[in-house]
A and B are shown apart, each in its own frame.
Chain A
Amino acid sequence: MSLVTADHLEKTYRIGEISIKAIRDVNFTIEPASFVAFVGPSGSGKSTLLNMIGCLDPPTMGYLQVAGQDIANMDRKQAARFRGEHIGFVFQDFNLIPVLTVFENVEYPLLMVQNRPAQKRKKQVNNLLDAVGMGNQGDKYPSQISGGQKQRVAIARALVTNAKLVLADEPTANLDGKTANRIINLMKKMRDEFDTTFIFSTHDTKVMQSAEIIFTLEDGELLQRQNDNGGTHA
């Protein structure tokens, strides 16, 4: 069973009298434990699509199923609960909470979203911090670590709830090439270790080459799907 299924998906924004179609009749499926990139120029609809898959923005039309649930008609609270249970996020600007330590940042979803007991939280957080190579940095605050380290912490935070799906909007945009590669490799490693599907958006050609499946978007339309074996679907 597919983890993500989009069927005739559309998203239209209205600005006054003007309607802007950000996503036009998009269809795709993504299988569990995939490593997927949405690529395309700025304004092509990558972020909009990721926001819809992430239950942050409902589609205007079409069907969108994530982790077996139709997410198109969820209300605000249902969507928040669904995100807390099934989806992890990695942001371009890392978006760590500055008043929390590295450990507390990773612990946050377990504590404030899932209300897990302390013992389990500690074990889970330490596992994840070790997995992303930040096991000895738990007491530091975000302001005391580098950009690459911040993104590692953000990946750990996204995975700590055993999320089935991690969405990363331009996760390497604020990192240098070397660090960006490390982060992509780390995400791949995490996918292998935790069977988590990673979907990220990028327009960095080096980064997109690391993806196993690439969806190319332009003007809100899905132009092609490309597998790492070279197969291309229009």
Chain B
Amino acid sequence: MLNVIKIAARNLRRYQRRTILTSSLITLGVVAVLLFISTTGSFKNMMVGQITDSMIGHLQIHRKGYLASIDNLPLNRNLDQRQVAKVKEILSGLDAVESYSMRIKLGAMFSNFTETTNIRLNAVIPEQEVKTVPLLSERIIEGEKKDVLLQKGEILIPELIAKGMKVKVGDNVVIVANNKDGSVNGKTFVVNGVLEGISGPGGRDGVIHLDDAKELLRINGVEISEIAVRLKNKDDLPRIFSSLKDDLASFTNKEGNPVFEVHTWEKLSPFYNIAQMIDLMTFFIKIMLVAIVLVSIMNVMIMAVYERINEIGTIAAIGTLPGKIMALFVTEGFLLGVLGTAVGTVISLISIAAINAAKLTFDFGRQSNLVLAPTIGAEDVITIMLIVIGIAGAASLQPAFKAARMDPITALRHV
């Protein structure tokens, strides 16, 4: 085999200019794909990370029907004490669950004593919330980032309301809300911090303590709108989702309808569609790479066979078996693929390091100065390398087969 590789490599060196041109084309394709995957993949992972780690969590459990009317933040579709206890019991039994956070979601009026506006609030137990969405505290752009997110009587307000209502950290504000029976109640809060708005549901909500919400809404027992769940490893999401769905489906009401509904972040965030688009684009870019490699290698190998017909006739006459003649040409295409891929991978990795060092920034939605930090996993690099090298070998098959099947006499007569 080493001799086949040696002869193939020498033939590539023999047509140096053509080898350089073709491998450059493959290199270009590999660089384009790896840079695309690394930048879009990092962007996707960053956005997904922001969504799951600062707002939604990996999974959410609601009372059946809550999600359909989530825009109204209905208080009459909260989970009761018995239901919450059941969910807690199930979640405690799952090793893959890192933490979970109980939330009451409510709509309220926000007043700075001179002006009033509406606000959506998440009432949380700070310790649970910080564990479940650890990046939430990173979104505090004004105010002190403490170990504890907030105390009772404090509120984190979204950036838009802080700007629009000219409210600063330390100001007193009043939150007025209707409870599920229609009674109105108000409570004064101290602004503890301003939250950076991010794209997606819950990205512009304020945060208060769960006990304050219960006081505001005059809830005596336990009522919870949603339970956000964080997994130890997000790759376990499909498995845990399926397991939770099955476990919770066994709980039904008197009419026999399920009591709970469970959703992954993908169902809850519209960014999932963008993520899917990115995956689709990546797929098409890979197809383009395959086409580039296929056409260029095939073209070169067809030329190589045509130019070496007499040589093929000679080695066939000497007694070289058709399989070995085929191996010589397939190896040539394969080596061309290896050369282009190796150079392309090295250039891509250097480019990725350079982009990271340059700390390029971009804007997305209302978020600006996001740092472009492309990263690429060994798995992606190896996949692309295998695809390109595999296609290079495959593209050489037809010309190689033609060479192997060539009639020695006709080939020897060729001028």
Interface residues of A (CB under 8 A from B): 51, 54, 56-57, 76-77, 80-85, 87, 89, 91, 93, 95, 97-100, 108-109, 111-113, 157
Chain B, interface size category, equals 20 to 34
- In contact, B316 and A80 (Cβ under 8 angstroms): yes
With A56-B408, A91-B314, A97-B311 as contacts: A80 and B319 at CB distance below 8 Å: yes
Name B's interface SS.
Answer: helix
**Whole-angstrom CA separation of A150 from B315 in the bound complex:** 16
What residue in chain A is nearest B3 (Cβ atoms)?
A111
Closest beta carbon of chain B to A225's beta carbon, Å: 25
> If the complex has contacts A76-B322, A113-B320, are A51 and B314 also in contact, measured as CB distance less than 8 A?
no
With a cutoff of 8 Å between Cβ atoms, the chain B residues found around residue A111 in the complex are 3
Residues of B within 8 Å of A54, CB to CB, are 317
Of the residues B10, B319, B322, contact of A113 by C-beta under 8 Å: B319
Main secondary structure of the interface of A (DSSP, over half): helix
The listed residue (A77, A83, A99) touching B317 by CB distance below 8 A is A83
Shortest beta-carbon distance, A125 to chain B, in Å? 14
Q: Which residues of B contact A51 (CB under 8 A)?
A: 409
| Minimum C-beta distance from B330 to chain A (A) | 15
Of B13, B310, B319, B412, the contact of A85 (CB 8 Å cutoff): B319
Q: List chain A residues, Cβ under 8 A from B314.
A: 89, 91, 95, 97
* Contact indicator B10/A100 (Cβ below 8 Å): yes
- What is the bound-complex CA distance between A81 and B408, given in angstroms? 14
Residues of chain B with a CB closer than 8 A to A89's CB: 314, 317-318
Query: Is B11 interfacial (CB-CB < 8 Å)?
Result: yes
B7 in the interface, Cβ–Cβ < 8 Å?
A: yes
Q: Does B14 contact A (CB under 8 A)?
A: yes
When C-beta atoms are compared, the residue in chain A nearest to B9 turns out to be A99
CB neighbours (8 Å) of B14 from chain A are: 98-99
Query: With a CB–CB cut-off of 8 A, which chain A residues contact B263?
Result: none
Question: Which partner residue on chain B sits nearest A107 by CB separation?
Answer: B3
Q: Choose among A57, A99, A109 the residue that contacts B319 (Cβ–Cβ < 8 A).
A: A109
A99 touches which one: B11, B310, B409 (CB < 8 A)? B11
Distance between Cα atoms of A165 and B378 in the complex (Å): 57
B residues in contact with A56, CB < 8 Å: 317, 408-409
A84-B319 in contact (CB<8A) = yes
Report B328 CB to chain A, min CB distance, Å.
Answer: 9
